[in-house]
Structure 1
Amino acid sequence: MSRENYHTRMQAPSGNAPLIFALHGTGGDEHQFFAFAQGLVPGAGVISPRGDVSEMGAARFFRRTGEGVYDMDDLARATAKMAAFVEDWKTAFPGSPAYAFGYSNGANILAAVMMARPDLFARVGLMHPLIPWDPAPVPALASTRILITAGERDPIGPLPRTKALADWAHAQGARVRLVTHEGGHELRPEEAVALQEEFAQAPQPIGA
C-alpha cells in the first residue's frame, strides 16, 4: 500500500473533519509539526510522514546537490511517491477534504506535488518554499486556497522567488494569500496564525 511509503505518525479525523498532511523541513521528522497540526482544525486528522532521504543524517523528502540546487530526477521520484501516499490516505477517509502544509523542504515537495496533482488538496500552506524553476501552467489549481509565507531576509528562500511563486499561483486562478515577516528562514507566530485562519474556515462539501 502507498500509505506505507513513509514512516508516518497519524491521527484519524473525527467525522468529516479535514485530513491534514504535515511535511517537515530538513532535519525534522514526523513529530516536528504533529501537535501543531492537531490544533489547526477541531477534530482534524493528521498525517505526518518522515522524509525518506538522508542528507548527512538530516531527513529530507528529496535530494539536492547544493543549497537551492535540486536533483530534479530525484524530485520527480519523490513527487510521484508522495502523490501516491496522499492519494492512498485520501481513499481511506473519502469524506474528509485534504489540506496540507510544509515548511522549507516540506514546502518544496508539497509545491511539486500540488503542481503535478492539483486534484489532491483543497488547501495548501507553503511556508518558506524555494521553487528554483519556472512552473508550467496548472489551471486545475483554480479552486485551491494557497497560503505562502516567507521572511523578507530569508537567505534560503529569497523573497523575489517567493513572490514569483505567489504570482504564478494567482495566475492559475488559485486563491492566494502571501504573508511575510521581516526575518529570515525561521517560522514566526504570524505564519502559524495565518495558516490556522486559512485551514479553520468552513470547507465546502466534497463534490460541491
Structure 2
Amino acid sequence: MSGLTHEFHDGVPDAPLLLLLHGTGGGPGDLVRLAREISPGSPLLAPLGPVSENGAARWFRRLAEGVFDHEDVVARTGQLAEFVTAAREEHGVADRRVVAVGFSNGANIAAALALLRPEVLDEAVLFSAMLPLPESPQRDLSGSRVLLSGGQRDPMAPMVAARDLVAVLRGRGAEVTEHWHEGGHQITFEAIDLAKRWISAPPR
C-alpha cells in the first residue's frame, strides 16, 4: 500500500495525473470539483494530510501562523514523495505526467515537493502558496513548470513570501507563471480559468 489515506479517481488515457493537496483542515475531496474544472479528463490522486493540528489535517507542523517546522517540512515532503511514487504504481498511472494542485498548506507542501523531490513532480499549480523553507538544495529545476496564483491582500500567504518562492524556483531554472489578484486567501474564477489553459498547454 502507498502509505497515506487517499482517494483515487480514474480518468481518460494520456491525461495528466493531478495530485490534489488540500489546505489546513481539509480532506481528500476538497479539490476534486476544482480539478474537474481545470483538467476534466485527468485521473486524480487525493491524499489526506498526515499531521493533525488540534484535529485539523495538515501536511506538516507549524510553530505559529506562518512559522513552519522546517525539519518536519523536509520529513513530510519525503513521505509525500514516497507516497506519490507508490500510489502511481498501485493505481496504474506511473507513466503519466504529474501535476500537483494545492491550496494554502497543500500548495506549500507542493512547493516543497518541487524544490526537494523534483523527480516525482513535473508541474505544480499553487494557490496561495509561500516559500516553505528558508534554504533548499540547489537542484536543477529546468524541466519544471509552476503556476502560482496569490492574493495581493492575503494575510496568510503574504506577497513578499510568495514572491520569495517565485525567486527561488526561477533561480533553480523552473518556468514560473505568476497570477496576482486583488483578493485574499482564496482561489478566484480567473485563476481557475488560467489554470485550465496552463495545464492544457503542452510543456516544453
Q: TM-score, normalised by structure 2?
A: 0.91
1: CA distance between counterparts of 2:8 and 2:171? 34
Q: Give yes or no for contact 1:145–1:175 (8 Å, CA) kept in 2.
A: yes
Query: How far off is 1:190 after superposition?
Result: 1.5
2: CA distance between counterparts of 1:199 and 1:120? 17
In structure 2, the residue matched to 1:74 is 72
Gaps of 5+ in 2: none
Within the candidate set 55, 58, 62, 2:56 is matched to 58
Secondary structure, aligned partner of 1:110: helix
Q: Give yes or no for contact 1:63–1:70 (8 Å, CA) kept in 2.
A: yes
Query: How far off is 1:133 after superposition?
Result: 3.8
2: CA distance between counterparts of 1:70 and 1:163? 17
Query: How far off is 1:165 after superposition?
Result: 1.2
Query: How far off is 1:62 after superposition?
Result: 1.0
Residues 45-194 of structure 1 aligned to structure 2 (within 5 Å): 45-91=43-89, 92-131=92-131, 133-194=133-194
2: CA distance between counterparts of 1:138 and 1:197? 30
2: CA distance between counterparts of 1:29 and 1:132? 20
In structure 1, the residue matched to 2:9 is 11
Gaps of 5+ in 1: none
After TM superposition, the structure 1 stretch with the greater mean CA deviation from structure 2, 59-68 or 130-139, is: 130-139
- Does the C-alpha gap of structure 1 residues 49 and 132 become closer, same or farther in structure 2, counting only changes over 3 Å? closer
After TM superposition, the structure 1 stretch with the greater mean CA deviation from structure 2, 180-189 or 125-134, is: 125-134
Give the letter for the 2:102 counterpart. Answer: G
2: CA distance between counterparts of 1:90 and 1:31? 18
Query: How far off is 1:75 after superposition?
Result: 1.7
Identical-residue share of aligned pairs (%): 34
- Aligned positions, number: 202
Secondary structure, aligned partner of 2:142: helix
Give the letter for the 2:48 counterpart. Answer: R
Query: How far off is 1:199 after superposition?
Result: 1.0
In structure 1, the residue matched to 2:202 is 202
CA RMSD of aligned residues (A): 1.7
Q: Give yes or no for contact 1:13–1:44 (8 Å, CA) kept in 2.
A: yes
1: CA distance between counterparts of 2:17 and 2:150? 24
2: CA distance between counterparts of 1:52 and 1:167? 29
Q: Deviations over 1:126-149 (max 9, x none)?
A: 111122543335442111110111
Secondary structure, aligned partner of 1:83: helix
In structure 2, the residue matched to 1:24 is 22
1: CA distance between counterparts of 2:174 and 2:203? 16
Give the letter for the 1:65 counterpart. Answer: L
Give the letter for the 2:80 counterpart. Answer: M
Q: Give yes or no for contact 1:147–1:195 (8 Å, CA) kept in 2.
A: yes
2: CA distance between counterparts of 1:140 and 1:88? 24
2: CA distance between counterparts of 1:160 and 1:202? 30
Q: Give yes or no for contact 1:125–1:195 (8 Å, CA) kept in 2.
A: yes
Q: Give yes or no for contact 1:19–1:98 (8 Å, CA) kept in 2.
A: yes
2: CA distance between counterparts of 1:130 and 1:174? 16
Q: Give yes or no for contact 1:119–1:140 (8 Å, CA) kept in 2.
A: no
1: CA distance between counterparts of 2:176 and 2:189? 20
